[in-house]
Structure 1
Amino acid sequence: MRLHPLSGLTMATVLGLAQLPAHAAPAQIKAPAELPAKASVADAIKASAPSDWRPLDPDNTLYLDIPAGRVVLELAPEFAPQHVTNIKALVAEQYYDGLAITRAQDNWVVQWGDPNEKSPKPILHAQRTLPGEFTVPMTKITNFTRLPDADGYAPQVGHSNGFPSARDPKSGTAWLTHCYATVGVGRDVGSDSGGGTELYAVIGQSPRHLDRDITVVGRVVAGMALLSTLPRGTAPMGFYDSPGKNVPIKAIRLAASVPFAQRTNLEVMRTDSAAYQAVLEAQRNRGGPWSKVAAGHIDLCNAPIPVREVAK
């Protein structure tokens, strides 16, 4: 299976997240009053409270271990429930262990899966393919905080439980967007030709034109540099031209199955918090002596979501 040629930091299940109505917009969430008029992102993070942060849910967090280190991914079951369940089944049977990163296309994606297409690794309990989950009904999404800035790809954009997302009130649908660090499911031409046996992460300029054409299952929250700096493949579409260049996957594990002492203990800023609105405003209107012109605008995929490692 090959990803069709037309073919960063997050949240799935939240622990203690205050729910906002689906129409919630930044104007309803005030930035901390104690911040200076032209606060920096660092200022906003420093002024945040413990309640502005949430831990990763270990039942929806994956550890992708490669020779260079660990990549942490957070899954989004609200947007792709069947694929997330299937990916976790693949992880449980250790399907990905011993497979490889086979593709690193400049300004596009890094992709991993089974390098042996002629004699693929058997699957024990999971499914090899599933119907595409390109959009979901808006009513299925429990949380959406809208950005006020215009977007060229969707009527509304913002964050749904920490994931960059979009929605169309006319069609009543919502979907995850292709931003840097987005993780999606590789497929062939058929919408039902992927199931999670091949996954990719965006390493280039946000390919938003892929939105609603591929199942998005989550995003990388830590270790992105381990993927984005891989040597570029020289074969068509950025695939490595010989097996020796593939990057071996040591293991992919669900965080919940990893002993606590061996987990990567991260917190992500809640995107429905006042602190995050302060982060957005700081990025939208960059202050300080270096900046000469404040953009007064922020693109969804350039909206940073702070992540921090905390003591165990």
Structure 2
Amino acid sequence: MRKISAVVSLFALLSSTSISAQETATSEYPSPNAIVDAAPTSDWVKIAPSDLLVMDLAADAEGNARRVVIQLMPEPFSQGWIRNIRKLAAAHWWDGTSINRVQDNYVVQWGDPGYDNPESGETGQKALPEGLETVPESDYVAEDNGKRAVVLDSAASEKDAYSIITSFEGGWQIAYGQGKWPVHCYGAVGVGRNYSPDTGSGAELYTVIGHAPRHLDRNIAVIGRVIEGIEHLSSLPRGKGQLGFYEDASKRVPIRSIRLGDALAEGASPAFEYLDTESSSFAKYADARANRLDPFFIVPAGGADICNIPVPVRRVSGE
């Protein structure tokens, strides 16, 4: 009995020591999520309702509502396409269109089936609103004015395979080289187009649901990112046709409406804010993402791809 008691006591001692050490490690090296949770209110920036694109899909098979919220890029990025998107939303152009393409580990694409997939033999039946801009390819890249965030003590701003450096600007992941441009991370929303010199009007949009296709950077316009409801897109059945287009039209998911947040009924727009990428909280968060020292991790990576440091966005109560 004494021997068993001694073993039990030793086990209890080791267990308490392990828990104590874990608590100390958690305190000294908080996880990225813990850093975000502790960020003061002053480190958060409100997203204007006019910068939200709210897409309501047809209900799922169980009758559950499906809403996807997209945050549009700020100046100076992709503004010609975004002006078109604002006009398209104001004209209710997307109402009655559909999600037409779901390609595994790549993208989900929506719009008029004929415009999205010319090889389907269908022709786009919806006339585009008047006054849409033809945006030049030069607008894929903006002038670098040096406003990027300084992310202290981290590997978050460093060379990568697709640019000279990557960093953050105004709450967004940005690449820098000869100019600057938004990057194709998970959830990024871009403009579908045909072969160059076509750059797309903004009527056909897609979002990334797989490994970041950074080879698309500077070849297709990035106009925003999904900040809520990505699961309603990423979980859809994959298309069986070329490039993941649905061969069976009945598989397409109907789009009930797409509206700008400020066009919804008063008080109906969802409200969000993002962690200021120039704040000390974000610097700590980015460093923690690049150098995981919280208890689960054994070997810190010592760096992070820009797409592995998503800018935290949270829903808040409306004013």
TM class by shorter-chain length?
Answer: 0.7 to 0.9
Q: Which structure has more helix as a fraction of its residues?
A: 2
Q: What pairs with 1:51-130 in structure 2 (closer than 5 Å)?
A: 51-67=42-58, 68-76=65-73, 77-116=75-114, 117-127=122-132, 129-130=134-135
Point out the more displaced range, 100-109 or 210-219. 210-219
1:287 Cα shift? 2.5
> Where does residue 162 of structure 2 map in the other structure?
153
Change (3 A) 1:279 1:57: same
1:192 Cα shift? 2.5
Q: For the Cα contact (< 8 Å) 2:46–2:273, is it kept in 1?
A: yes
Counterpart residue type for residue 161 of structure 1:
G
* RMSD, matched Cα: 1.8
1:246 Cα shift? 0.6
Q: For the Cα contact (< 8 Å) 1:113–1:197, is it kept in 2?
A: yes
1:273 Cα shift? 1.0
Q: For the Cα contact (< 8 Å) 1:64–1:70, is it kept in 2?
A: yes
1:142 Cα shift? 4.9
1:260 Cα shift? 3.7
1:94-150 deviation per Cα after TM superposition (whole angstroms, max 9, x unaligned): 1111111100000000000101341430123242753232111113x7554463333
Return the alpha-carbon distance in structure 2 between the equivalents of residues 43 and 182 of structure 1: 25
Counterpart residue type for residue 61 of structure 1:
L
1:46 Cα shift? 2.6
Counterpart residue type for residue 72 of structure 1:
V
The equivalent position to 1:288 in structure 2, one of 277, 290, 294, is 294
The 4+ residue runs of structure 1 with deviation greater than 6 A are: none
Point out the more displaced range, 95-104 or 42-51. 42-51
1:193 Cα shift? 4.2
Point out the more displaced range, 255-264 or 100-109. 255-264
Identity of matched residues, %: 38
Indicate the SS of the match to 1:249: strand
> Where does residue 16 of structure 1 map in the other structure?
none
Counterpart residue type for residue 189 of structure 2:
V
* Count of residues paired in the alignment: 274
> Where does residue 18 of structure 2 map in the other structure?
none
Return the alpha-carbon distance in structure 2 between the equivalents of residues 192 and 119 of structure 1: 17
Indicate the SS of the match to 2:167: strand
Return the alpha-carbon distance in structure 2 between the equivalents of residues 124 and 42 of structure 1: 43
Which runs of 5 or more structure 1 residues have no equivalent in the other structure?
1-34
Which runs of 5 or more structure 2 residues have no equivalent in the other structure?
1-25, 59-64, 115-121
Point out the more displaced range, 97-106 or 53-62. 53-62
Return the alpha-carbon distance in structure 2 between the equivalents of residues 47 and 128 of structure 1: 44
Rg bigger for which structure?
2
Return the alpha-carbon distance in structure 2 between the equivalents of residues 59 and 310 of structure 1: 16
Indicate the SS of the match to 1:98: coil
Q: For the Cα contact (< 8 Å) 1:186–1:200, is it kept in 2?
A: yes
Q: For the Cα contact (< 8 Å) 2:113–2:124, is it kept in 1?
A: no
1:170-228 deviation per Cα after TM superposition (whole angstroms, max 9, x unaligned): x3x11011110111110111232411010110111001111111111111111111111
> Where does residue 249 of structure 1 map in the other structure?
255
1:26-60 deviation per Cα after TM superposition (whole angstroms, max 9, x unaligned): xxxxxxxxx94311112202321101111111222
Change (3 A) 1:128 1:299: same
- TM-score (norm. length: structure 2): 0.81
Q: For the Cα contact (< 8 Å) 1:106–1:238, is it kept in 2?
A: yes
Change (3 A) 1:218 1:41: same
